[in-house]
Structure 1
């Protein structure tokens, strides 16, 4: 853990005051409850208001209530909780069918975060966990998600002159080669990873869509190299596609994945 930033902690203390029953608070009330200097509270309230986390309360002069930005963050958190819960159920169904490890992951900047994982029953299995973060370009789920980004967003997250880190000797390290690979993934609608994040693991991944049709996650099937058989790839790809479609349907998607 790095050093905590006092100003950020104080801003969060102000927001957390609204977790109590009070829907409206004034800066003097915040100052009294938190024991902070009056000037500090006013500066923090001004900043939080400018960013949409607080808004003036019309029913009370000098009072503030939570702004729409806090609702947006809460809604986003709830969406991810739903995605994680539904993802685990679908991952369990897929894992039961193929008896391999199944993950569901989301994209954060240029990384993927695994939000659900169900293990195989084999003695040889993946060492991974929900909550783990990896470079997206080294994983099947990450490449699937990167492939679905608009070009300008991809350029922001992975600039064409970026130095891509390698996790194994098979990792893609050239942004140009990555873009060529992502174009192929977009064309096929499926991503394959061959020992790019782990020298002993192969993966296939498919996109998960929400009710609006946007790609919000990816579902992957991971197989240790000792059990990997190229002839089985089409079967695993179809299973990943079906699992991703099932999860998409649970999230309200009604179109073709």
Structure 2
């Protein structure tokens, strides 16, 4: 059985307490909040102070707060985070639960680029592989990302795309219709591709955010249209949102909502 070092454990408790506190704390407040001996609290606090992990908020009142060094350590961890490695088990889990194909994609120059996929007993027999590029306006993945952008940015990408291609009878080829669809996506919490890129393929998609609160990728579940009744769409949409948010949290995103501040 692993033996827990008492001093290390108390140090972590102090850091967690100060991180969650809405105000700087004194040595006595820290000692009382954690039920620690005053002498031990003093030694730990001043060791952390000497190491630059804590700093005085008010030296006269002897109130303490976390220093920027803690932030720097956190940023170093996030910078070394493997976005694709972290996403992979989530893709596998979502595919296993839905029994459908799950895609991971990013934007590049106004286009969606597929970077990973997972399928468990999927009903889809033909799917895009890694590196495939598709327009944003005609895919659930693309629309999920567009819905995180401002209308100005959406307009820029729309114009960048040039002459829109009508891939199916359901493809959105009118800018105002796209804007309406994106507003519905924000309200719903996930994007829908209702046979807009491929006949008979239905997708739900949600964006993945990084620590800077900007979308860095997007996740989707794709199925045969005939299998997608209203209940299944809502269920898959909710599962996709939850998975996208869980991945986002793992790479530094701190909000609890997928769509915010997009106007």
User: Secondary structure, in 3 states, of the residue corresponding to 2:137?
Assistant: helix
Distance in 2 between residues matched to 1:89 and 1:161, nearest whole Å: 33
Cα distance change on mapping 1:161 and 1:104 into 2, 3 Å: closer
Query: Which residue does 1:36 correspond to in 2?
Result: none
Distance in 2 between residues matched to 1:79 and 1:121, nearest whole Å: 35
Q: Rg: which structure is higher?
A: 2
Distance in 2 between residues matched to 1:167 and 1:81, nearest whole Å: 37
**1:160 CA drift (Å):** 10
Answer whether contact 1:119 1:125 (CA < 8 A) is retained: no
Distance in 1 between residues matched to 2:80 and 2:98, nearest whole Å: 26
What is the root-mean-square deviation in Å for CA atoms of aligned residues? 2.4
Cα distance change on mapping 1:161 and 1:134 into 2, 3 Å: closer
- CA deviations 1:177-234 (Å, max 9, x no partner) are 1112112212322101100111021000111111122111111110112422232111
Answer whether contact 1:145 1:215 (CA < 8 A) is retained: yes
1:157 aligns with 2:165: no
Cα distance change on mapping 1:99 and 1:152 into 2, 3 Å: same
Distance in 2 between residues matched to 1:124 and 1:185, nearest whole Å: 24
**1:254 CA drift (Å):** 2.3
Distance in 2 between residues matched to 1:133 and 1:164, nearest whole Å: 15
Answer whether contact 2:101 2:124 (CA < 8 A) is retained: no
Distance in 2 between residues matched to 1:82 and 1:256, nearest whole Å: 22
Cα distance change on mapping 1:161 and 1:140 into 2, 3 Å: closer
Q: Normalised by the size of structure 2, how large is the TM-score? A: 0.63
**1:162 CA drift (Å):** 5.0
Distance in 2 between residues matched to 1:225 and 1:215, nearest whole Å: 27
**1:98 CA drift (Å):** 1.0
Query: Which residue does 1:249 correspond to in 2?
Result: 249
Cα distance change on mapping 1:103 and 1:124 into 2, 3 Å: closer
Counting only pairs closer than 5 Å after superposition, residues 1-257 of structure 1 correspond to structure 2 as 82-122=82-122, 124-159=124-159, 162-257=162-257
Cα distance change on mapping 1:200 and 1:134 into 2, 3 Å: same
Q: Normalised by the size of structure 1, how large is the TM-score? A: 0.64
Distance in 1 between residues matched to 2:80 and 2:183, nearest whole Å: 27
User: Secondary structure, in 3 states, of the residue corresponding to 2:248?
Assistant: helix
- CA deviations 1:55-109 (Å, max 9, x no partner) are xxxxxxxxxxxxxxxxxxxxxxx97993222222211111111111001111122
Distance in 2 between residues matched to 1:170 and 1:103, nearest whole Å: 21
| Structure 2 portions without partners, runs of 5+ | 1-77, 258-263
| Structure 1 portions without partners, runs of 5+ | 1-77
Distance in 2 between residues matched to 1:190 and 1:161, nearest whole Å: 23
Cα distance change on mapping 1:238 and 1:126 into 2, 3 Å: farther
